[in-house]
Amino acid sequence: MPMKALEGIRILDLTRILAGPYCSMLFADLGAEVIKIEPPEGEMIRDNPPMVETGKEGPHDRSRSGYFLSLNRNKYGITLNLKHPRAISIFKDLVKIGDVVLENYAPGVMKRLGIDYPVLKEINPRIVMGSISGFGQWGPSSGKLAFDIVAQAMSGLMSVTGHPDSPPTKVGTSIGDINAAVHAAFTIMAALWHREKSGVGQHIDVSMQEAMVSIMEGAVVRWTIGKELLTPIGSHNTNESPMAAYRCKDGYIIIGTVGNEHWERFCRAVRKPEWATDPGYATKGQRWAKKYILQKEIEKITEDYTVKELGEMLDRERVANSPILNIQQVVDDPHLNERGYFVDVEHPVIGKAKIPGIPFKLSATPGEVERPSPLLGEHNGFILGKYLGINRAELQKLAAEGVI
C-alpha cells in the first residue's frame, strides 16, 4: 500500500461545528492522524440532522448524526473535560507528541484554559497551532460572536447576493465556515513546511471575515479603484453577459459566455446571427450594461425549448451551459459517480451511508475514506494508552472523576 500524503502528521483537533472539523477532515482524508477531542457529552453537531433512530436513548445516542459522520470520517475520537485540571494535564502530554493543535474557540478561551500558544510552544517548540475565529485573535471585532452568516454579512458577500429587489441574501451553504477551513488547511501546511526548514512551529490566526473578503473577486477593487459599489444582480456574472440562469419550457438553464468569441458561438447556437454584428452588443461591456434587456430577449428564445433541447444546441457550438441540479440529482450525477466522488461507509450505528468524498485526486498518494466518524469517546483507550500509557483501570478512574 503506498504511503499516504500526510502520513506521520498528528493533529490534536479541539474544533467543533463546521470550520474546524472540515479543516481537520482534509488532513485526515490524506492520511494525517487526527485525534478529535470532544467534551464528555460530545460536541453539539452530534445533534444535527439527519438523525437515525438506531441507538436512540441507548449508549450510542450521541452517535446517530449523518452530519457528524460526513465531517468526521477518518478521525480518532477521545473525550476530555478541559475544565478539569487532570484533562488539561493529559492534553499537554499529548501536545508533546503532536504536530498541530487546531481550535476554533472564541479568542481568549484557550488562554483561559491555560493552553494558549505561548504555553504550548514551551511544551513543544515544534507545535503548529491553528486558530479559526470570526474576526481573528485581535482587533476591535475579535470578541464579537460569529457564525457563518455573520462572516457572510461582514465580508460584503450578502450585499451582492440575491436579486435587485430582494433583501440581503445568504448563500445556500455555510461558505464562510468552509472557506476559512480551506485557508486554514493551506496555512497549516505552509507552517509545517517552514518547520521542516527551521525546526520551529508557529501560531496561525485565520479570520473568517478576512478569508471571505479575500474571495470577493473584483468587488473590492471595483470600489477602491473604480468607485463602483456592487449590488445584487441575481444569477448574473459581474463582468460578462450572457452569463446567468435563463428560463426554458421546463425550468432554468445556465448559459455562460466569456468575451466575443463565446458570444458569437452563442448567437449561432440560438439562431440569432444578427446579434453578433449588432453594434449595441459589440463589446462585453456593452452586453453587461444591457444584461437585463438581453435576458428578456434571450428568454423569448429559450422558453420555446426544454433545458435538454437547448443544452444540446449550445453544446454543438461549444457554449458553456448546464441544468441546475437539485441535491438528489447531484448524488445521482453519472459524471460524479464515474469519477468515484461519493463514497459508501459502514457506520456501527447509522449503518451503510453514502457521503461526499474527497474533492481532489493525487496520482501517487490519493486520499481515502477508511473509517466512519468515531463513536463518542471510542478511542479513549487506544489513544491514551498508546501515547500516554494510561491503562484500563486508570481510564475507568478518569471517567468516574469526570475527566473523560
Catalytic residues: 177
Residue type, 28: A
* CB count in 10 Å sphere of residue 340: 11
User: DSSP readout, 223-271?
Assistant: HHTT-------TT--SS-SSEEEEEETTEEEEEE--HHHHHHHHHHHTT
Residue in the block written with cell 505552509: 190
Sheet holding 76-79, edge to edge: 76-79, 33-38, 10-13, 100-103, 128-133, 203-207
Cell triple for 143: 470578541
Measured N-to-C along each axis, helices 259-269 and 307-316 cross at an angle, to the nearest 10 degrees, of 120
Give the cell for residue 11. 493533529
- Single-letter residue type at 48: N
Residue with cell 494558549: 116
For residue 130, which of 148, 158, 149, 104 has the smallest C-alpha distance?
104
CA distance 191 to 200: 9
Euclidean distance between CA atoms 278 and 297, whole angstroms: 14
CB 250 within 8 A of CB 231: no
Calpha distance 61→64 (Å, rounded):
6
